Amino acid sequence: VDMYVGGTEHAVLHLLYSRFWHKVLYDLGVVSTPEPFQRLVNQGLILGPMEHTVFRRQDGAHATARDVDMSGLTPADASTGEELTPERVGDEQLVKKGDAFVLKADPTIEVVSRCEKMSKSR
């Protein structure tokens, strides 16, 4: 095969399977090349829609994403330990600032934005 084109979701298992059998056939002298593909082109991941989350303190004020500790079961303020309530935010309420999204109403509040891959193998 001169070139294999595939996305990350499928390429890993396809490559493991094909490389394994190609190596077996190479060791037996059936094929002349040590690798099955001369070139690999990875198309990357297909991502689902982006989800944005802002965190609200008990007094109703928002907490910026940089101050949120996500290591426990519930998000908490990293400095005080106060439990925070996550809320979904729509794209229309956000503006891009550098590498992050912030609230239009208060650009000091950075939100958590994430995409999950679209795959049957979640």
pLDDT at position 121 over 60: no
φ and ψ of 50, to 5 deg: -80, 135
Burial class for 37, CB neighbours closer than 10 Å (0-12, 13-18, 19+): middle
Report the 10 Å Cβ neighbour count for 36.
19
pLDDT at position 119 over 80: no
As a whole-number percent, the residues of the chain with pLDDT over 70 amount to 80
- Please report which confidence band the pLDDT of residue 58 belongs to, taking 50, 70 and 90 as the band edges: very high
What's the pLDDT score for residue 66? 92
Where are the strands (E) in the chain, listed by range?
A: 3-6, 39-42, 51-56, 62-63, 68-69, 76-77, 85-89, 94-97, 100-103, 112-114
Instruction: Round to whole Å and give the CA distance between 74 and 115.
Output: 20
pLDDT at position 1 over 70: no
pLDDT at position 4 over 70: no
Q: Are strands 39-42 and 51-56 parallel, antiparallel or unpaired?
A: unpaired
Bridge partners (DSSP) listed for residue 35: none
pLDDT at position 73 over 60: yes
Q: Are 65 and 112 in contact (CB under 8 A)?
A: yes
What's the pLDDT score for residue 8? 65
Q: Give mean pLDDT, residues 73-96.
A: 95
What's the pLDDT score for residue 106? 96
Summarize pLDDT for 11-48 with one digit per residue, the tens: 677 778 888 999 999 999 999 999 887 776 666 666 77
